[in-house]
């Protein structure tokens, strides 16, 4: 690919990002507070420590695509709380999605492989009990995060992208 083609691709991606940013800038942020119900669940327990997820979804039985939010704060602090991040909830409502915001064990007490293990377990829960309990479509998932959560989002794509077929089949998913 030539340098000119690469610049064009970067411009297209940047333009798309600006378009999306301005398209959703007018979303009514208070709407998500009215129609979403928040439910906190334990998706994993290790040595008596419960690892939690918050599920936000409309109060209906429709099967919804899922936006998974992974919090940031350098892997050493932070939590799944979205109460001050209403843009994501407003976006999810506008697009007809549910949101699952997950916690994970924090460093330095927990090393990176175990943190990644928590994220993997969150997806295992999401594909099984979580999908059934909350009427979620585990075949339609978007993963996003901020800071360290962005890093864990990248790790998620790497883990499930490289061996996607094998991993998805182990989860009972058809491709």
Per-residue confidence band for 17, with pLDDT thresholds at 50, 70 and 90: very low
Mean local confidence (pLDDT), 41-46: 97
9 class by beta-carbon count within 10 Å (0-12 exposed, 13-18 middle, 19+ buried): exposed
Instruction: Give the pLDDT confidence score for residue 42 in this predicted structure.
Output: 98
Which residues does residue 53 pair with via DSSP β-bridges, in sequence order?
41, 102
Domains defined for the chain, CATH in brackets = 29-170 (3.40.50.1820)
Whether the full predicted model's pTM is greater than 0.85, yes or no, is: no
Report pLDDT digits (tens) over 140-162. 998 999 899 999 998 988 887 65
Separation CA 96–CA 65 (nearest Å): 8
Half-sphere exposure of 12 toward its Cβ, with a 13 Å CA cutoff? Answer: 6
Instruction: Please state, in angstroms and rounded to a whole number, the distance separating the CA atoms of residues 101 and 80.
Output: 5
Q: Dmax over Cα atoms in the chain, in whole Å? A: 56
């Amino acid at each position: 690919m030539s340098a000119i083609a690469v610049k064009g691709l970067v411009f297209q991606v940047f333009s798309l990002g600006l378009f999306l940013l301005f398209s959703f800038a007018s979303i009514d942020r208070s709407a998500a507070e009215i129609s979403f119900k928040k439910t906190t669940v334990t998706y994993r327990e290790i040595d008596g420590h419960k690892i939690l997820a918050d599920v936000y979804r409309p109060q209906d039985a429709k099967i919804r695509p899922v936006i998974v939010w992974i919090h940031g704060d350098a892997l050493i602090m932070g939590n799944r709380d979205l109460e001050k991040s209403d843009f994501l909830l407003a976006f999810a409502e506008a697009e007809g999605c549910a949101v699952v915001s997950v916690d994970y064990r924090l460093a330095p007490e927990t090393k990176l492989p175990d943190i990644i293990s928590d994220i993997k377990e969150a997806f295992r829960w999401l594909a099984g009990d979580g999908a059934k309990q909350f009427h979620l479509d585990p075949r339609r998932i978007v993963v996003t995060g901020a800071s360290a959560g962005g890093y864990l989002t990248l790790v998620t794509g790497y883990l499930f992208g490289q061996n996607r077929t094998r991993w998805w089949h182990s989860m009972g998913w058809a491709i």
